[in-house]
Amino acid sequence: MTEIADREQARLTAQLNSTTRQASEANQQAAAANEKAERLRRKNLELEAKVAPRRLTGGQKSDLSKLLAVETGRVGVISYFFDSESADFADDLADAIHTAQWQTVRVRNFIGD
């Protein structure tokens, strides 16, 4: 009877060792996949930043207004037709310039050269 028990114990020990090896390999693969996912996430964030719409932050608008407020003048801010990104950016610039007490003319949807 002990011979059967010994064989069964050996079989179960071998199975446990095999399962432990597989689990270790799976953990290594998961760690590698996590590292790859993190690299891809960082690259994605870099790409998103590159293609993000150009806008002025509140601080940038304030800084620009302060610089321009030293002297006033007149300016026209123009954005092209069907270009919403440039229109938003032009709006930001026009707001900052207007805040500096400049006379501003905002032209949206310009068609021309």
User: Contact, 88 vs 55, CB < 8 A?
Assistant: yes
Note the pLDDT of residue 33.
Answer: 96
Burial 55-86 (b: 16+ CB within 10 A, else e): ebeeeebeebbeebeeeeeebebebeeeeeeb
Note the pLDDT of residue 113.
Answer: 73
Note the pLDDT of residue 82.
Answer: 87
Residue stretches of the chain with pLDDT short of 50? none
Query: 16-30, pLDDT tens digit by residue?
Result: 999 999 999 999 999
The residues pairing with 77 across neighbouring beta strands, listed in sequence order, are 106
List the structure tokens of 18: 């095999």
Query: 60-73, pLDDT tens digit by residue?
Result: 999 999 999 999 99
Domain locations in the chain as residue ranges = 1-52, 58-110
